Structure 1
Amino acid sequence: MFSNWFQTTKSLLLHCFFWIGVWFFFVYFFSYNSNDTLYITWFSSLLLPITLLTTYITIYVLIPKYLLTKKYAQLLLYSFYTLAMSVYLITLAIYGSFIFITKLDIAKVPPMGRNFIFILILVYLIVAVISFVYILNHNFNVQSQFKALENKILETNLQIKQQELNYLKKQIHPHFLFNTLNTIYGLSLKKSEYTPDVILKLSNLLDYILYQVQKPKVVLSEEVAHIHEYIDLEKIRFQERLKIDFTTAIENDALLIPPMLFLPFIENAFKHGNIINHFLTVSIRLQATKDQLNFYCSNSAYLKEQESSTGIGLENIKKRLALLYPEKYNLNITTTTDSFAVALEIKLK
């Protein structure tokens, strides 16, 4: 309430100061080669309300209602009415001043007040300048509002993407946990000595999943460390039946990436690989430079009949990649009778 009152008062004061300035401009203009302050003061005072009325009709009626709405026919019609009205009032002011102030003595009329065309130009020049400033200010406000709306839309889209990413992460966590708990369950049935070690490694992975994965980015070295922990879990599960090759070539261990970017691929390589000649073969390569990230993962003899049951992990990671690296990544998934291979290339710049 107070803020609105303050803005209204401020606007009124600015308008008052402006029109006082216009009045002084009229006085200065008509004072050229004339010392008749009485005529100059009264004539300027008569001309000011006519200029004010014409200006306000132009900027508050003609421009917003007809020019900005592109109603050009009405604009021409009402502009003509406004012009006729203002010319009539200016004429009355000129003749009224000549009759009542100078008492029909043309010598008392200032040189600049004798030319009807000059007076019209003076009045309409002020109207034109104010109208031009009004249109500029209107365009600036419209562009500012458009920019604010655009920023709001971008912010909303970003929030939607973030919510979708969080939703996808929440889907990945139970999927990953379910597979690992199956491993622990199998070991516990066998009363395996590796069960405590598996539980400890799972605890570390859960800490990563529940806390670190909430961050938008994690250090690449952390991701690699947890990949090693996951591989260790699978080594315990498969024991001698696993042939694993995990190689890395990383220029910068402090490189930031989204959490759990590679684990779903690796998890599917273990889950859906087929044991041939008593071995499951998994190959993983990770290369990182300052400009590009390359990841490759393959397993032995991927079973095509299981392709529809690869779970939600791969689908989620595809959606995450589309949200996180739009048009900056290339994902190739190759399925043959001998292997299932994933090749991911991400441009970091």
Structure 2
Amino acid sequence: MQEYQYPEKIFYRHSYYISVTIIASYFISYLIIPRLILSKSYYVVVLYFLIGSYLICVLSRIAVIYLLEPLIRLQPFGQESLWVIATDLPKLLTHYFALSFSTAWLFSFIKLIRDQYMSQQRTMSMGKEKAQAELKVLKAQLNPHFLFNTLNNIYALSLTASPITSKSIAGLSEILDHILYRCEGPSVPISAEVSLIKNYLELEKLRYDERLKLSFVHSVDEELAIVPLVLLSMVENAFKHGAGENVASPVIDINLQLRSGLFEFKVSNSYFPAYRESSSERIGLVNVRKQLELVYGKRHQLSVSTENNIFVALLIIDLRVKDKTGLTYENKVSFSG
């Protein structure tokens, strides 16, 4: 067996083993496993596997006897016929099948794990892009809705040549600055949203004068970030369906609190049952609910209730966990319902 020690003969042997292993690996990874995953008939896949494995083993033995051995063995030596090679099943199974497919299974397993990982990454990427696209659509629905109502307010003031028209325009300018230039990202500081609500309330107070009973209480123990404009949408919804329908003495109470990462935002407004919408959910709150679900999922709770002609919208968000915007916080609060 001294002839096997020459470097060129070792190269021939290794080249043969690598070639057979590559063929078997691709057969398992790209023909059998995909069919096994997608096929409805496993018997057909098993038949493909048996036929393919048999052919690979036969071709492997033919390559050994008629190609490899003449290169690495000294003449003369006997060679088996093609019929003997094809019908010697014990030899094909115990030697050539084990030789060809031992590494192929490992390669196929690694490829399967890699494919699953890449598939999950693509799914996550597509889900993130879908969520971002839906958020843009929801914001596009929100901003024109708010601008339309505010411009109507200023238009009503201009018809009466009210001296507060210019002040209203200045307030609207600050609101537009926030919406157009500070809400491009997935989140904004809560303090910025508080300032936005204050500007909006000042604008609405100019419209309603003393008829409006308005209260805005806010308490924030640390600066955290929140998805932009949803708070404004809830406030604007209260004015549209509360103060806008109650021509006598509308009442709106707003309470904002952030304590140890738990954010609570409560908006209460009076309403006339005669003007109450037949639908159980106002369109403004429907958009808010969709946007919050995209960003916070089960880490938020938005509930509405009515009692004694008072409509209450309560939003609770846990801002101490990693949300879909990529912001990372510290602890977790579970909500029921």
Shared fold, TM over 0.5: yes
Q: Deviations over 1:190-248 (max 9, x none)?
A: 22111111110001111111121222111110100110111111111111111111111
Q: Is the CA contact (8 Å cut-off) linking 1:58 and 1:131 kept in structure 2?
A: no
Q: Pairwise mapping of residues 72-87 of structure 1 onto structure 2 (< 5 A)?
A: 72-73=46-47, 75-76=49-50, 82=57, 86=61
TM-score (norm 1): 0.69
Matched, 1:155 2:131: no
**Pairwise CA distance, 1:50:** 11
Partner of 1:246: 216
Partner of 2:24: 59
Partner of 1:282: 252
Q: Is the CA contact (8 Å cut-off) linking 1:334 and 1:342 kept in structure 2?
A: yes
Stretch of structure 1 that moved more, 201-210 or 70-79? 70-79
Change (3 A) 1:136 1:211: same
Change (3 A) 1:232 1:66: closer
Q: Pairwise mapping of residues 114-193 of structure 1 onto structure 2 (< 5 A)?
A: 124=95, 128=98, 131-193=101-163
Partner of 1:340: 311
**Pairwise CA distance, 1:146:** 2.8
**Pairwise CA distance, 1:339:** 1.0
Change (3 A) 1:155 1:89: closer
Q: Pairwise mapping of residues 253-268 of structure 1 onto structure 2 (< 5 A)?
A: 254-268=223-237
**Pairwise CA distance, 1:79:** 5.0
Partner of 1:322: 293
Q: Is the CA contact (8 Å cut-off) linking 1:50 and 1:89 kept in structure 2?
A: no
Q: Pairwise mapping of residues 80-99 of structure 1 onto structure 2 (< 5 A)?
A: 82=57, 86=61
Within 1, Cα distance between the matches of 2:74 and 2:165?
112
Within 2, Cα distance between the matches of 1:50 and 1:204?
74
Q: Is the CA contact (8 Å cut-off) linking 1:298 and 1:341 kept in structure 2?
A: yes
Within 2, Cα distance between the matches of 1:84 and 1:166?
59
Instruction: Give, as a single letter, the amino acid of the residue that structure 1 aligns with 2:212.
Output: L
Within 2, Cα distance between the matches of 1:203 and 1:88?
82
Classify the secondary structure of the residue corresponding to 1:158.
Answer: helix
Stretches of structure 2 that go unaligned for 5 or more consecutive residues are 37-44, 78-90, 322-337
Change (3 A) 1:62 1:223: closer
Stretches of structure 1 that go unaligned for 5 or more consecutive residues are 1-29, 31-36, 102-119
Q: Which has the larger radius of gyration?
A: 1
Matched, 1:331 2:331: no
Classify the secondary structure of the residue corresponding to 2:139.
Answer: helix
> May I ask how many residue pairs the two structures share in their alignment?
291
**Pairwise CA distance, 1:148:** 1.8
Q: Deviations over 1:250-291 (max 9, x none)?
A: 111x21111112111111211221577942111100011243
Q: Is the CA contact (8 Å cut-off) linking 1:302 and 1:336 kept in structure 2?
A: no
Change (3 A) 1:89 1:249: closer
Within 1, Cα distance between the matches of 2:263 and 2:113?
40
Stretch of structure 1 that moved more, 242-251 or 129-138? 129-138
Within 2, Cα distance between the matches of 1:227 and 1:61?
62
Partner of 1:15: none
Matched, 1:218 2:188: yes
Matched, 1:195 2:201: no
**Pairwise CA distance, 1:52:** 4.5
Aligned partner (choices 76, 80, 96) of residue 100 of structure 1: 76
**Pairwise CA distance, 1:336:** 3.9
Q: Is the CA contact (8 Å cut-off) linking 1:272 and 1:302 kept in structure 2?
A: no
Within 1, Cα distance between the matches of 2:231 and 2:171?
18
Q: Is the CA contact (8 Å cut-off) linking 1:50 and 1:90 kept in structure 2?
A: no
Within 1, Cα distance between the matches of 2:3 and 2:246?
113
**Pairwise CA distance, 1:86:** 3.1
Change (3 A) 1:243 1:52: closer
Change (3 A) 1:80 1:266: closer
Instruction: Give, as a single letter, the amino acid of the residue that structure 1 aligns with 2:227.
Output: P
Within 2, Cα distance between the matches of 1:201 and 1:54?
75
Stretch of structure 1 that moved more, 49-58 or 211-220? 49-58
Within 2, Cα distance between the matches of 1:197 and 1:66?
73
- CA RMSD across the alignment: 3.9
Classify the secondary structure of the residue corresponding to 1:262.
Answer: helix
**Pairwise CA distance, 1:160:** 1.5
TM-score (norm 2): 0.72
**Pairwise CA distance, 1:174:** 1.1
Stretch of structure 1 that moved more, 70-79 or 333-342? 70-79
Classify the secondary structure of the residue corresponding to 1:327.
Answer: helix
Classify the secondary structure of the residue corresponding to 1:247.
Answer: strand
**Pairwise CA distance, 1:145:** 2.7
Classify the secondary structure of the residue corresponding to 2:277.
Answer: helix
Change (3 A) 1:277 1:179: closer
Partner of 1:271: 240
Classify the secondary structure of the residue corresponding to 1:245.
Answer: strand
Q: Deviations over 1:148-174 (max 9, x none)?
A: 232122212211111111111111111
Q: Deviations over 1:54-94 (max 9, x none)?
A: 93696268646876456444544665673698399669969
